[in-house]
Amino acid sequence: MQYKAYIFDLDGTLFRGEEVIPEAVATVAELHRRGAIIRYLTNNSSRTREFFVEKLRNMGYPAESDEVYTSSLGTAKYLQHENVRRVFVLAEQGLNDTLEEHGITICETDVEAVVVGLCRDFTYDLMNQAMQLIRGGARFVATNPDTTYPVENHKLIPGSGSIVAAVQACSETAPFVVGKPNPFLVELVLEEAGLRAEEALVVGDRDDTDIESGRRAGCPTFLVLTGVTKEPPAGQWHAHTMHELLG
């Protein structure tokens, strides 16, 4: 079945670290040739939109800046919508750059929210700062809940969700999660592309985040078994490669 649009996850779906998934490149390129609307949607908060455009192109995927959505971009848009302008951030430069590009000030005092994403320099002191600010009344916003993400050679490494869980435990506060499985990002893609939910197929490798976000947004979904989820739930459309999407 041909859909008007395809919303692809990145890590584990189109690539694993720097390892491209060949079948995925061929499938996306063919769908693009057929005139399908292509969008890329990642929970990864560590890099900018521009970084992913370059990475995708270098791997052979057709990609333009307005076709790529990250949890960093979604977080910036969410904070703007909530009129939050001053935040403490536990993350990497990609998130910092994205927030600042959207007029959000990163600081350590008088903050309205604590934003947590992937942070490879996470320390006890940073966790304590975040905890004190949240307990002091700041909102708690998480880019995504992914506890792991896939890299080369079918390995997994800790993801943003591991850090979010630590901050949640000590602050005793649940965050607002911007990324998948929240449908916020999928709905943002649909709105900006002028699409109805049933017109866009959500494709990903994680049933608990990628596929769940599509379900919650009302979109059809396709689970590819090239990343995290290896045992698909009953009734879920799935395959070991993406070739099935070409019909």
Catalytic residue among 9, 146, 205, 210: 9
Annotated active-site residue 97? The verdict is: no
Catalytic residue among 11, 146, 205, 207: 11
**Separation between Cα atoms, residue 90 and residue 132, nearest integer Å:** 13
SS3 of 48-100: CHHHHHHHHHHHCCCCCHHHEEEHHHHHHHHHHHCCCCEEEEECCHHHHHHHH
Spatial CA neighbour of 122 closest among 186, 65, 165, 59: 165
**Separation between Cα atoms, residue 231 and residue 238, nearest integer Å:** 10
**Hey, what are 150's tokens?**
């896939």
Annotated active-site residue 9? The verdict is: yes
DSSP 211: I
Question: By the 8 A CB rule, do 126 and 90 touch?
Answer: yes
Q: Known catalytic residues? A: 9, 11
